[in-house]
């Protein structure tokens, strides 16, 4: 029997407002502080420092802006090779190119779906002069931070931490966004807390924070007129956007608890299916559970082929694939999404270096055949998917989504 569609769409992850946000937006309006200075910005920076545990936070127009200025702070210059997480959104990587750097991608590991420290060590053997490593925490799950830091320290490399997806997640009790020399978070519309847009650079260096404040306001010098002696950017956060973020911050832990409940309901419901949820180090880390994801066992994958912009699959009893599940979810008005396509598979970066834990510099092919993945990231991309993870989704709505997914493995029902 077909499962009844939802009247209102169940989103992957949409903003959750509480009412405090409009109070601070109105305050900005009524006091006429509608530009890139104001109490909301100051207070949002203070609150994030207090919550995350860093000394300085600079509110910017986007997480991407924060990453760009972090790369600039790290000293990346034209032609410099920079190691980057492979399985991530391209905003992690593009700022390296903004500064003329050349990304080399480090393969993923299965334990956390993040940068593989073994592959990172192999990469330093191939590129011994690299001095900057950009590390992302996928879907709110901390990577193997101690191991990655040990490799970077051994080779004298600076870590730029992309914690855009992991605000509130902890590793050994310490918040992500504090492990790099320069760290970045995002308040994009689908993040764990949001400003509709916006981001921050986090650091313990006053000198770095002061540079970012200057660069983000067109590098205006301290002079009676507009004096500019170096390149600047229009990257400062609006006081209006900061009002939204300010109103969201007190609800971070509540949102994380809701996201975790969704993850655990999926995990329990799928315990008898040939799938696994996106993993994390239960001993050392606590994710923020931003997105619940799953990966289908290799022997439960039906035939699936992807081109650059399209896909096809053949339904098989007892088997399924990510796009079949996503298509079936779409039929009931629920949004899922493929796993991030690894950067080394992207046309824009396909000629860049790519290093696996075996020291291989390239994947053999962009095509995928079940059971013959060329690297970890490629395998997860082809067998994995992001599930509806909106924290406003009720248990009853999630049960309907779970039923659709179970049905994909048994078309005889």
Q: Which CATH class is domain 252-408?
A: alpha beta
pLDDT at 2: 78
pLDDT at 368: 39
206 assigned to active site: no
- Stated as kind and residue range, the H or E segment containing 376 is helix 376-383
Q: What is the dihedral of CA 411, 5, 398, 305, to 10 degrees?
A: 50
* CA angle (84, 145, 71) in 5-degree steps: 35
In three-state secondary structure terms, 134 is strand
Q: Which CATH class is domain 20-250?
A: alpha beta
Picking from 188, 192, 309, the residue whose alpha carbon sits closest to that of residue 241 is 188
Q: Which long-range contacts (CB under 8 A, 24 or more apart) does 260-263 make?
A: 260/287, 260/289, 262/289, 262/292, 262/389, 262/391, 262/393, 262/398, 263/289, 263/292, 263/389
Angle between helices 20-30 and 39-52 (to 10 degrees): 140
In three-state secondary structure terms, 261 is helix
- Angstrom distances, CA of residue 307 to CA of 167, 298, 347, 364, 382: 34, 20, 12, 16, 12
Please give the Cα distance from 103 to 286 (Å, whole number). Answer: 29
User: Which residue in 72, 122, 191, 259 is the catalytic one?
Assistant: 191
pLDDT in tens, the chain (413 residues): 678 999 999 999 999 999 999 999 999 999 999 999 999 999 999 999 999 999 999 999 999 999 999 999 999 999 999 999 999 999 999 999 999 999 999 999 999 999 999 999 999 999 999 999 999 999 999 999 999 999 999 999 999 999 999 999 999 999 999 999 999 999 999 999 999 999 999 999 999 999 999 999 999 999 999 999 999 999 999 999 999 999 999 999 999 999 999 999 999 999 999 999 999 999 999 999 999 999 999 999 999 999 999 999 999 999 999 999 999 999 999 999 999 999 999 999 999 999 999 876 654 444 433 344 569 999 999 999 999 999 999 999 999 999 999 999 986 44
pTM here is 0.95
Tokens representing residue 116 in the block: 């593989």
Domain ranges, ordered by start, for the chain = 20-250, 252-408
């Amino acid at each position: 029997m077909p499962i009844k569609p939802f009247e209102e769409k169940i989103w992957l992850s949409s903003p959750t407002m509480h009412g405090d946000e409009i109070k601070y937006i109105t305050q900005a309006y009524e006091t006429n502080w509608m530009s890139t200075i104001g109490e909301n910005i100051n207070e949002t920076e203070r609150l994030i420092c207090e919550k995350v545990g860093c000394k300085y936070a600079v509110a910017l127009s986007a997480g991407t802006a924060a990453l760009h200025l972090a790369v600039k702070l790290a000293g990346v210059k034209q032609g410099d090779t920079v190691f980057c997480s492979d399985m991530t959104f391209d905003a992690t990587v593009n700022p390296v190119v903004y500064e003329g750097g050349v990304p080399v991608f480090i393969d993923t590991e299965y334990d956390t779906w993040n940068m593989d420290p073994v592959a990172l060590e192999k990469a330093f053997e191939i590129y011994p002069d690299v001095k900057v490593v950009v590390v992302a925490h996928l879907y709110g799950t901390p990577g193997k931070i101690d191991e990655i830091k040990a490799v970077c320290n051994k080779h004298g490399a600076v870590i730029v931490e992309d914690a855009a997806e992991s605000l509130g997640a902890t590793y050994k009790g310490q918040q992500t966004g504090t492990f790099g020399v320069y760290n970045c978070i995002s308040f994009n519309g689908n993040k764990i807390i949001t400003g509709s847009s916006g981001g921050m650079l986090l650091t313990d260096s006053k000198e770095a924070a002061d540079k970012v404040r200057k660069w983000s306001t067109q590098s205006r010098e301290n002079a009676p007129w507009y004096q500019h002696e170096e390149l600047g950017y229009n990257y400062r956060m609006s006081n209006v956007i900061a009002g939204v973020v300010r109103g969201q911050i007190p609800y971070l832990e509540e949102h994380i608890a809701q996201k975790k409940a969704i993850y655990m309901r999926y995990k329990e419901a799928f315990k008898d299916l040939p799938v696994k949820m996106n993993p994390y180090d239960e001993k050392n880390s606590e994710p923020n559970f931003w997105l619940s994801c799953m990966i289908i066992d290799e022997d439960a994958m039906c035939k699936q082929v992807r081109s650059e912009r399209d896909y096809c699959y053949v339904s098989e009893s007892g088997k399924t694939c990510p796009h079949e599940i996503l298509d079936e979810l779409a039929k009931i008005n629920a949004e899922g999404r493929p796993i991030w396509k690894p950067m080394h598979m992207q046309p824009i970066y396909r000629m860049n270096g790519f290093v696996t834990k075996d020291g291989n510099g390239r994947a053999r092919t962009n095509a995928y055949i079940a059971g013959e993945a060329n690297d970890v990231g490629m395998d997860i991309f082809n067998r994995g998917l992001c599930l509806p993870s909106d924290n406003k989704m009720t248990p009853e709505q999630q049960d309907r989504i779970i039923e659709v997914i179970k049905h994909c493995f048994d078309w005889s029902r």
